[in-house]
Chains A and B, each alone.
Chain A
Amino acid sequence: MSISETAERLGLHRVGARAALIPYLRETWERREFITTMARYRMSAQNQENRLGAFWLLLRPTLNAAIYGLIFGVLQGNHRGDDYPAKVVIGVFLFGFFSACFSQGAKAITGNRPLVQSLAFPRVALPLAVVIEQFYTLLLSLIVMFIIVVILGHPPDIRWLLMVPLLVIYLLFNTGVALITARLTVHFRDLTQILPFVSRLLFYTSGVLFDVTSLFKEHPWVVEVYNWHPLYQVLTIARSSLMTHIPYDLNFWYYLSAWGVGTAVVGFVFFWRAEERYGRD
């Protein structure tokens, strides 16, 4: 009898073997307290050094929106479309969640090497904690965003509730994105250098700072392309729900749900398949 058979008979398993998908999901679920606590504690540890502490979580997107709104508002002159400030505020605040998941998710494994190398837990806990930390930050900053939107002349109404399902879909989408970038940087370390540029490129092209329909009035095919862009769809639905109703294709909801669920599932499986690889370098 070979050693591996003897080992199997005595109830010993090969060390380092990856769990099957369902047990892996169950293990991850059992670690939910670890994931959410890590997210909360990291968030509170992060701003401890600054005098204003957690206020920076609110100040940062507000200042960003003010600067981008001012510069791009002036640059675009008459092309900027109606109600530009409110659009920029919603765009900048919501896009921040995506870009944080995209770039922080990429560091979830590579930036926690000592942790990955010393303790056993499903590695997916690390990118998930990043996403949840960023989601808490988003929820906090949304309070400020709502206040600014009201000040800019859009009182709350019943359609604001559409933000709830929208945020759930957006959370799923960004979870998938973070899981994918988390694994990719493990294989290609140089991506940490490239990803900030990709994130910035997406920021400038996703309709955060401009109104796609009025800017590309003469090029309907561009608008058509944008209608398949998940980030643009999120911003469009959010703007339409929070501001005076801007009509949009209700199919956006279906596309976006498919994007959200699809990205989350693909991201999870993609991340899980390399489970044995993490921490080995």
Chain B
Amino acid sequence: MDATETRRPVVMVDELHVEYKVYASGKAVSPSAKALRGPRGIRTVHALKGISFTAYENESIGVIGSNGSGKSTLMRAMVGLTPPSQGAVYATSRPNMLGVGAALLPDLSGDRNIVLGGLALGFKRSEIASLRDEIIEFSELQDFIDLPMRTYSSGMQARLKFAIAASKQHEILIIDEALSVGDKRFRERSEARIREIRDAAGTIFLVSHSMTSIRSTCNRTIWLDKGVLVMDGETEEVVTAYEESRIPR
């Protein structure tokens, strides 16, 4: 316990509940489903049911769980996009999702998109000028950087987006299934880059269904199921328990 006391906490999630109100449409599957509905067909989905944990600096935390277990909801609540119905998330600085794709314009060249994406991430123009070569090198798009981004293949686009987004030294970074892009070589290089961000005083949350990615990047793992935190601990321990629970009987 003493070890955790001296480490600096960067994210504290306190009894976090998230409820979605969904306008249910269509027929009720069964009479019991009908009883769940509130007035006017509004249905409440309890996506997170009291999640608590503390993340410290230099930690990289894997988040695992089956589809619909609440992983993405937790991440969205952590960046402040989904309001908690109870509880709260505290952080030293606002956590960021790894992703800059939404800021880019497909009709413009890769080069201009580096400028635009960099500015969107909060860089100054002068800083972008010095990062430019590094981004181009990482994305391996030297020969295509003057072409409009819409002419790139989806793998090339993903490489450029990752290279721009990962050029920033994020304090708290959330990566939601972003590592599944590109070929094997690029995937390995991006995992290496993520470890670099972590080692330079960053905290990382990695949401993934790939246990290989989780094992090679995370030193701690959180397992969610149906909005409840099932297990939180050493990656090896949690992933093994998770994999065992998934073996069909």
Contacts and interface: CB of A to CB of B under 8 A. Distances in A.
Interface string B101-120: 11101011000100110011
Interface residues of B, number: 42
A10 B213 CA distance: 32
Contacts of A76: none
Nearest to B98: A118
Contacts of A73: none
Contact of B94 (A15, A48, A280): A15
B200 to A, nearest CB: 19
A13 interface: yes
B51 interface: no
Nearest to B107: A45
A31 B9 CA distance: 29
A238 B222 CA distance: 64
A15 B102 contact: no
A86 B14 CA distance: 66
A180 B95 CA distance: 29
B101 A41 contact: no
Interface of B: 8-12, 14-15, 76-83, 88-92, 94-97, 99-103, 105, 107-108, 112, 115-116, 119-122, 124-125, 148
6 A-B pairs closest in CB distance = A16-B80, A7-B90, A114-B102, A12-B90, A115-B102, A34-B119
16 contacts: A4-B88, A7-B90, A14-B89, A33-B119, A33-B125, A34-B119, A41-B108, A45-B105, A45-B107, A49-B107, A112-B102, A114-B101, A120-B79, A120-B94, A276-B83, A279-B81
Interface of A: 3-4, 6-8, 10-17, 31, 33-34, 37-38, 41-42, 44-46, 48-49, 112, 114-115, 117-121, 276, 279-280
